């Protein structure tokens, strides 16, 4: 069932959101034509993206034009979820996979992505947990839970787009006028805050690769 050893993993560095989306669409066409699948690992310049549940932009107190005036792009997307903020201190992973070949339901796939993140941060000594009622990966510290990674996907004809965003270092520039995922800024965690030291996003990108290669999709539900 697993195709981990034939998936193509690309580390693309800093890439504008629109370029990454166009690349995902191209990869989706290749997967539809028979390619085993892709994992795109990127970082984005500052950009606010709106999911299907956020068309009214109720969690954004400024206009998209005002965002651009602050040097922050805006994009409406087809993923699930609410507003999300991407920035260079965040590692974003976009799997383009055919769930029919993997015999996975969308719910199982989301759990699988959360498991990939949990395994990755565990390699840095951070314990992450998946919460189905608030899709993402959460960390618990002194009785307080905070979200360290967000998940938002789109599945069309069985093939996935979008994915997960893992916070490596905090970036609070949108906190005064935006509620990411409908939550205040203090509800989010980062790897740097959890470890109490500086962490380069490139280090985290490298940690994702062996996890993607080794974690078997058949372990869904046991991660």
Give φ, ψ of 101 to 5 degrees: -65, -35
Using CA atoms of 102, 107, 110, 111 in order, give the dihedral in degrees to the nearest 10.
-90
pTM: 0.89
pLDDT at 61: 73
For the domain covering 8-215, report its CATH number.
Answer: 3.30.930.10
pLDDT, one tens digit per residue, over 62-109 is 777 888 888 888 888 777 667 888 999 999 999 999 999 999 999 999
Alpha carbons 179 and 174: distance in angstroms, whole number? 8
The answer to whether 85 and 45 have CB atoms below 8 angstroms apart is no
Going from N- to C-terminal start, the domains of the chain cover: 8-215
Structure tokens, 27: 């990869």
The catalytic site residues sit at: 181
Tens of pLDDT, residue by residue, the chain (223 residues): 444 558 999 999 999 999 999 999 999 999 999 999 999 999 999 998 887 665 556 677 777 788 888 888 888 877 766 788 899 999 999 999 999 999 999 999 999 999 999 999 999 999 999 988 888 999 998 788 899 999 989 999 999 999 999 999 988 776 655 656 656 556 789 999 999 999 999 999 999 999 999 887 766 544 4
């Amino acid at each position: 069932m697993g195709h981990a050893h034939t998936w193509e993993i690309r580390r693309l560095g800093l890439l504008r959101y629109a370029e990454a989306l166009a690349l995902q669409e191209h990869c989706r066409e290749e997967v539809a034509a028979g390619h085993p699948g892709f994992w795109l690992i990127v970082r984005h310049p500052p950009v606010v993206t709106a999911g299907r549940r956020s068309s009214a932009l109720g969690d954004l107190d400024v206009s998209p034009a005002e965002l651009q005036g602050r040097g922050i792009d805006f994009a409406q997307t087809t993923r699930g979820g609410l507003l999300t903020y991407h920035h260079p201190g965040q590692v974003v992973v976009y799997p383009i996979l055919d769930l029919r070949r993997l015999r996975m339901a969308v719910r199982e796939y989301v759990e699988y992505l959360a498991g990939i993140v949990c395994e990755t941060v565990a390699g840095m000594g951070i314990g992450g947990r998946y919460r189905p009622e608030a899709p993402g990966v959460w960390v618990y510290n002194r009785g307080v839970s905070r979200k360290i990674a967000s998940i938002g996907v789109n599945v069309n004809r069985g093939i996935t787009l979008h994915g997960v965003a893992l916070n490596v270092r905090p970036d609070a520039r949108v906190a005064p006028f935006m509620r990411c995922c409908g939550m205040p800024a203090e509800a989010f965690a980062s790897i740097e805050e959890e470890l109490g030291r500086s962490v380069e996003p490139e280090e985290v990108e490298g940690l994702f690769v062996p996890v993607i290669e080794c974690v078997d999709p058949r372990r869904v539900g046991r991660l």
